[in-house]
Structure 1
Amino acid sequence: MTDSFLEPLGQVRTKIVATLGPASRSPEMIRKLINAGVDVFRLNFSHGTHDDHTESLTNIRRISDEMQRQVCVLQDLCGPKIRLGDLPGGAVECDFGAEFRLSSEQKGADDPHELSCTYKDLPDDLEVGQAVLFADGTVGMEVTAKGEGWAQLKVTLPGRIRSHQGINVPSAALSVEALTEKDLADLDWTATHSVGYVGLSFVRRPEDVTRLRHELEKRGCRARIVAKIEKPQAVANLEAIVDVTDAVMVARGDLGVEIDVEKVPTVQKQIIDACRKARVPVITATQMLNSMETSSRPTRAEASDVFNAVLDGTDAVMLSGETAIGEYPVAAVSTMSKICREAEHLIFSGNPGGIPFTCCAVRGGKKDGETGAVARVSQVLPVTDAIVDAASTVSRRLKAALMVVATHSGRTALAVSKHRNASPTLALTDDVEVARAMSLYWGVTPLHIPELFQTGQVLAFADEWCRTHDLINSGDHLVIVRGVIPNNPNHNALLVHEVE
């Protein structure tokens, strides 16, 4: 791999999520993508078979182990995405004013004006006068009449629709559940395949998240939950959803169809700010470098989009078609990495010690180190929060070369991450699944250490590892923070070390 596609270890704080697909699922490509800067691979369960995803997961695990890198996997559930049925010839032109009939069952297979969809109750849920959007909002129709099992539609925004494209009804309160039968079957796959995060599509209320958590716990899964915000109802219930999830995705694709497009930037900033205050990781997604599906360079607008998302405070940025089906997947990752690094340079050039940051009120919850579900990983004890706050202040004042966190659950590392210190963070944990999950945390380089010992031994290990990777020099300061470690009474410790 050329140096131009090699991300320097620990030097880019914003994390990169890349979607695997036909253009990127080979072992060779996975290795190149990790080198270019991928921290989390997204497996899109809207496409592919369980065997396909098992093969991808196996390759990710094998290659990341060989590279001695902790790489996380996000399983993205399909959710109740409403799609068109089969169309004659695969596509139909929708002229302005043309009329179509949407039925709960496929009728008139040879009639291009007879439409069907995957959600059989949709015609009954529609109301006269409502707008129905197709193909990511590029084609629009209005409901002019309806009866039992059918709705008459008139084209208001002409264009072409294709078989199995998405349908959105922004103003409708549909009765569809957030978890479909397909999603539940996909969670059965999760039960036997360890993933770091499960993405829940089309969240509308906090109960959608708690139901998924129940389904995960019922199957013995430790995966954390990413609530995808792509419905206006989710925006209205944002604080309540953030309060019960482990991470959030600003899913701008369907969000930009469900709400007016000019409102998307405002909502994006609102979501990122809510996650920042709640100490919840947030991913900004969809069309970030969309032109790189077919071009080796992004547009200036796309570069600015990624740059500004970093300035807004996103923890991660995501590539979809750019890496799944694009012609330049490695270049797309490398380009995104360079843009993120440039944005971070701007942030820290104005704030050399980092960005002083105060989280919202600390929530109650399990102690760092207790066993059980990983729910609400953002919860930390007040004493841990105070130690992290003090450590961040020390790091900024000393301009520390590195912060080292020893943690069992990852909570302490997440708390440090949300302080947005200029000093990179090395997080050590004895739990391999926690190490992988921490790959999503801004500024954190996770390491799996089977046994975490006394603070002095943590320091010795960190010192040797950082010297091996050329991350520290004589005279540098290291700030060491210990969270709660099981069966070890020495916890919530803060130590400053000067490298000899």
Structure 2
Amino acid sequence: MTKIVGTLGPKSRAVDTISSCLKAGMSVARFDFSWGDAEYHQETLENLKLAIKSTKKLCAVMLDTVGPELQVVNKSEASISLEANGTVVLTPDQGQEASSELLPINFSGLAKALKPGATIFVGQYLFTGSETTSVWLEVSEVKGDDVVCVIKNSATLAGSLFTLHCSQIHIDLPTLSDEDKEAREFLSKLGDLSQTQIFAKIENVEGLNHFDEILQVADGIILSRGNLGIDLPPEKVFLFQKSALHKCNMAGKPAVVTRVVDSMTDNLRPTRAEATDVANAVLDGSDAILLGAETLRGLYPVETISIVGKICAEAEKVFNQDLYFKRTVKYVGEPMTHLESIASSAVRAAIKVKASVIICFTSSGRAARLIAKYRPTMPVLSVVIPRLKTNQLRWSFTGAFEARQSLIVRGLFPMLADPRHPAESTSATNESVLKVALDHGKASGVIKSHDRVVVCQKVGDSSVVKIIELDD
């Protein structure tokens, strides 16, 4: 039921690898724009489309923008060794060569933001906690635009770009880089992309302090625990995770947790701690688990997806749905809105009659997401009914978009029904769509004969929740 987001990159962008990832359980593909150019990602996207066609599995696309990343620029790409207790200077002069004594950076305002004693981390793909590939620096003095640091641990930096992170310091860089803004302008030129959902990535103390306001305007939240683990003392991360996930759950907005099985980048098995961490993220209420380096450059992308899926499934068996349901109903309070009351009733009925699936007819996907908000123990089949629209010049469908977007919501499984004319919504067409949904459920093994199924649909102006008992 918990969704898996896989980041596509060098080790996972071939069509057959993407196909295997889809079969293993990836339902959202993430494109990380903090490296690689647009052409590179476009090629990967074309490969994803081919893989979707061949596996017949829907997959959503997540574009992760560059954002305000401080980076060390290493033009020669030679490895840089740093020795504990030595000193290294960070300089905004990018004409200089990177070396063990000097690291050029892409931001001239760093010296202004820092005072002696401040903590800086530098590493590739940020910091996993295995500190041989990332280094911890302490600022000893600020000289003009340069920052002189004491090296706290020996490490070797390899590659062309290292990310730099200053703990608990406000860096005066715009959240959207010029590339990001170009992307947004380009999107709006392509037509109406108001349907595109925007997820906020919380990665520092500032994000935590403004969490409630961010949650109100975002369509979903990504907890970037790699960065948070540096900005927060390690003992605080779990507390924030629990409270943030709870808030997302109550708002009915998808919550995604990152950095779960870092050790699987190079190994076939996760550590015990990592396996427990994945299970706890599910028990805490997360909608999806996001894999970064593990699938992007890891040696075992398909196995990682498969193992994370197995751990999620085990945790879901012991998820305390009863307590969660009561808490959510109490939080929503009374009087409930029409949709909220239908959604909670559908889930309650399904649990009482031990239904094997809830089928929800929806055009925007909103009703299905509300049902999923109450975390039923059975899958929610959201039957998205595409609508034909015309602007007098040509006809277009809406629906595929909404179906894909729900692929990041826990327990929600979209399928597209036959498109229909806006005027059509007779009970006969509803019955035929229901039959298609039931057949789909049988084919995928979630519905068997003699099962009970809860159906939620709109008939005219009213919403109906009904329980169907299936014969042979």
What's the TM-score once normalised by structure 2's chain length? 0.86
Contact 2:343 2:367 (C-alpha < 8 Å) held by counterparts: yes
User: What's 1:282 paired with?
Assistant: 255
Counterpart position of 2:376: 421
The one of 254, 262, 269 equivalent to 2:242 is 269
Q: Deviations over 1:98-134 (max 9, x none)?
A: 2232222136537642222112222222223322222
| 1:466 Cα deviation from its structure 2 partner | 2.4
Aligned position for 1:315: 287
Aligned to 1:268, the other structure's residue is in SS state helix
CA change 1:353–1:119 in 2 (3 A) is closer
CA displacement 1:281-334 (0-9 Å, x = unmatched)? 011111x12222222222222111111111111111121122111221111111
Distance 1:153 1:467, change over 3 A: closer
Deviation at 1:352, TM superposition (A): 8.6
Shift of 1:140: 2.3
Aligned twin of 1:495 = 466
Question: Structure 2 vs 1, CA of residues 436 and 495 (structure 1 numbering), >3 Å: closer, same or farther?
Answer: same
**Secondary structure class of the residue paired with 1:97:** coil
Q: Distance in 2 between matches of 1:307 and 1:110?
A: 42
Are 1:382 and 2:337 an aligned pair?
yes
Q: Is the 8 A contact 1:353 1:399 kept in 2?
A: no
Give the paired residue count: 440
Match of 1:226 in 2: 199
Residue among 302, 310, 319 paired with 2:274: 302
Q: 2:351 aligns with which of 370, 374, 396?
A: 396
Give, in whole Å, the separation in 2 of the partners of 1:445 and 1:95: 52
Please tell me whether residue 103 in structure 1 is matched to residue 86 in structure 2: no
**Residues 445/108 of structure 1: CA separation in 2 closer, same or farther (3 Å cut):** closer
74-83 or 128-137, larger mean C-alpha shift: 128-137
Residue 214 of structure 1: aligned partner = none
Q: Is the aligned partner of 1:441 residue 2:409? A: yes
Equivalent residue in structure 2 for 1:472, among 447, 460, 466: 447
AA of the residue aligned to 1:25: R
Distance in 2, matches of 1:250 and 1:433, equals 24
Structure 2 residue 328 is matched with structure 1 residue 358: yes
Q: Which amino acid aligns with 2:51?
A: I
**Conservation of the 8 A alpha-carbon contact between 1:355 and 1:422:** no
Mapped to 1, the partners of 2:70 and 2:199 lie a distance apart of 21
Displacement of 1:139: 2.0
User: Which residue does 2:80 correspond to in 1?
Assistant: 92
Closer/same/farther in 2, CA of residues 391 and 89 from structure 1, 3 Å limit: closer
Say if 2:166 is the partner of 1:169.
Answer: yes
Report the counterpart of residue 66 of structure 2 in structure 1: 78
The verdict on how the C-alpha distance between 1:359 and 1:81 changes in structure 2, with shifts beyond 3 A counting, is: farther
Counterpart AA for 1:22 = P
Separation in structure 1 between the aligned mates of residue 434 and residue 455 of structure 2, nearest angstrom: 7
Gaps of at least 5 residues in structure 2 are 128-133, 387-398
> Using the alignment, how far apart are the partners of 1:338 and 1:19 within structure 2?
19
**Paired residue secondary structure (2:6):** strand
2:153 matched to 1:149? no
1:394-415 Cα deviation digits (max 9, x unpaired): 1110011110011111111111
Q: Does 1:16 align with 2:13?
A: no
Shift of 1:83: 0.9
Gaps of 5+ in 1: 1-12, 194-217, 364-380
Q: How does 1:99-138 map to 2 (within 5 A)?
A: 99-106=87-94, 108-109=96-97, 112-135=100-123, 136=126, 138=134
1:27-42 equivalences under 5 Å are 27-42=15-30
Alignment of 1:154-233 (within 5 A): 154-162=150-158, 163-187=160-184, 190=187, 220=193, 222-233=195-206
Q: Which amino acid aligns with 1:77?
A: T
Question: How many Å apart are 1:38 and its aligned residue?
Answer: 0.6
Change in 2 beyond 3 A, CA 1:181/1:354: closer
What is residue 451 of structure 1 aligned with on the other side? 419
Does 2:40 correspond to 1:52?
Answer: yes
Q: Would the aligned equivalents of 1:353 and 1:421 in 2 still touch at CA under 8 Å? A: no
Q: In structure 1, what is the Cα distance between the partners aligned to 2:417 and 2:61? A: 20
Segment drifting more, 92-101 vs 162-171: 92-101
1:49 Cα deviation from its structure 2 partner: 1.9
Give distance in 1, aligned partners of 2:268 and 2:100.
Answer: 38
1:109 partner SS: coil
Provide the C-alpha distance between the structure 2 equivalents of 1:346 and 1:340, rounded to a whole number of angstroms. Answer: 10
**Correspondence for 2:366 among 411, 417, 437:** 411
Alpha-carbon distance in structure 2 between the residues aligned to 1:327 and 1:88:
26
The CA deviation string for residues 177-236 of structure 1, in whole angstroms up to 9 with x for no partner, is: 11011222344565688xxxxxxxxxxxxxxxxxxxxxxxx9745310111111111111
Contact 1:87 1:115 in 2 (8 A): no
Distance 2:81 2:11 in 1: 30
1:25 has 2:10 as partner: no
Instruction: Please name the residue that 1:246 is paired with.
Output: 219
Letter in 2 for 1:44: D
Partners of 2:470 and 2:202 in 1: CA distance: 45
Mapped partners of 2:456, 2:107: distance in 1: 51
Compute the displacement of 1:362 (Å).
5.9
The residue type equivalent to 1:73 in the other structure is V
Task: Give 1:58 shift.
Answer: 2.1
1:335 deviates by 0.8
Q: Does 1:481 align with 2:456?
A: yes
Query: Against the structure 1 CA distance between its residues 420 and 110, is the aligned structure 2 distance closer, same or farther, given a 3 Å change threshold?
Result: closer
Contact kept in structure 2, 1:225 and 1:247, CA below 8 Å: yes
Among residues 327, 333, 336, which one is paired with 2:305 in the alignment? 333
Q: Is the 8 A contact 2:168 2:204 kept in 1?
A: no
Identify the structure with the greater strand proportion. Answer: 2
Give, in whole Å, the separation in 2 of the partners of 1:110 and 1:139: 15
1:421 & 1:110 partners in 2: Cα distance?
54
Whole-Å Cα distance in 1 between the matches of residues 152 and 167 of structure 2?
15
SS at match of 2:302: helix
